[in-house]
Amino acid sequence: MEVSINITDKEINRKKIKTSKKGKNPKLYMKILFSIVFSLVLGVGIYFLYKTYKATQGFGFTFSPTQLIEKRTNPELAKDSSNTYTNVMLIGINTRETGNLLNTDTIMVASFNHQTKDLVMVSIPRDFSAQVDPNVVRFNKINSSYSINERRKEGSGLPILQSIVEEILGIEIQYYAMIDLKGFVNLIDAVGGVYVNVENSFTDYMYPKGKGYQTVSFKAGPQQMDGDTALKYARSRHSRHNNEGTDYARARRQQRLINGLKDTLSNSETLLNPTKLSAILSSIQNNVKTSSFDVNDIKAGIDLMKELKETPSTSYSFVLDPLAGNRSLVTSSSETYTIKPTAGNGKYGDINKYIQLVLKNPVLYSENPSIYVYNTGLGQQESNQKVEKIKKEFKYLNIRYMGTKYNDKENIYVFSNKEGSFSSSVEILSNYLTTDNTTKPDYVTTKLNGEDISIFLGKTSLTEDN
């Protein structure tokens, strides 16, 4: 297309003279300047929004221009029906260079309590037995569910896995995200690494490297990890040191990394910096799949991270292994090399109840103390009845009645036998039993039975509620 402009010198001079007569208009000048600045800011904002959209459209981000102008002063993350928890399913998967689907290495749910600000993480071991195909009543390892259903119908793998996890845990999941090994490394590097407190020293002589193996070692203590180091820490499962060579130990390490990543994001300005945020999203866009989310979810997530920077949350870790719930929830099968509910395949009632108690009282179930109760003056029958009430209130903990220790002592005592440990559990139990006596009484001169917490039931006037 050609445009011809024909203006004579006379006309140009006339325009110049006309302008010079009027002189500069300050108001008009400021309007023009403001328009230019506003256009630049708007353009930059649209550019970063476009970059974010392009980086995220492949894994769940939905965007409508109306979301930029609609009035929603306090965007919130989606919550469960109790309006208390936001539950996110986190999946880690290994994929070959060819892109072939493999089983999921990590299945975890992170549950955030909007009232207490607690974060509870629950891992389901990959060998957990479940009905992985909704069309076939057959139980298999849960880690095969995604690949089986995704092969049958693209896009169905994660929603079906979500429904399976919801049934096992008895909760509602609002969001999910799946990341592969390369994406995990890129994400950790993009945020500048994560700070992790390694609980136990261990060495793994059989960590995969191509078609062979390599040796990886970690020393106990706090340390900064880059993406490659974090991946080795999260995946190692062949160590023979400090019980770190199991899938259950690996699940706990993965939870520590997630917690470290959460702390890194909430304690930095990364999420508030459009350039850094765009770079992070771009680095993982081909390695992540998520449930649907929009601009308001992003705003709510950033607001939450800003809030946690001012008032940090406490994180708690749980794994559905054979030790969970005082060894009453899950059992292993040597024939199928799986673990399953003690009640039987597909029977998740006790696990559902346990998870509800964990979400309600995470600190107590995280400390998981052994609690031995003694009659020290209350009376044999009365003490028996009291113990049954305690067991009902704090189900799935190791609570035992040890009989009569003394016959003539007064008051109720709740105390830890390990100095500096189980203080939160002592506080919870003493509040339930309405007593302020939380130290070992002076009259105890003999050894007890090695429990973490002792409860002495002496002569006292008890409330009807307890």
Q: What Rg, from alpha-carbon coordinates, does the chain have? A: 30
pLDDT value of position 31? 57
Question: What secondary structure does DSSP assign to 33-67, as a single string?
Answer: HHHHHHHHHHHHHHHHHHHHHHHHGGGTB---THH
Spell out, as residue ranges, where the chain has pLDDT lower than 50.
1-5, 7, 10, 12, 14-22, 42, 44, 46-49, 63, 68-69, 97-98, 462-464
Q: Where in the chain is the domain with CATH 3.40.630.190?
A: 85-364
Q: What does each C-alpha distance from 156 to 149, 237, 247 come to in angstroms?
A: 6, 30, 26
CA dihedral 88, 93, 99, 102 (to 10 degrees): -120
Q: Do the beta carbons of residue 79 and residue 86 sit within 8 Å?
A: yes
Q: Do the beta carbons of residue 92 and residue 105 sit within 8 Å?
A: yes
pLDDT value of position 44? 47
Angle at 230 between CA 224 and CA 236, to 5 degrees: 130
CA dihedral 202, 206, 209, 212 (to 10 degrees): 160
Which of 355, 209, 179, 357 lies closest to 283, judged by CA?
179
pLDDT value of position 43? 52
CATH architecture for residues 369-457: 2-Layer Sandwich (3.30)
- Residue 194, beta-bridge partner list: 225
CATH class label, 85-364: alpha beta
Q: Where in the chain is the domain with CATH 3.30.70.2390?
A: 369-457
* Residue bearing tokens 């028996």: 384
Measure the CA–CA gap between 2 and 10, rounded to whole angstroms.
24
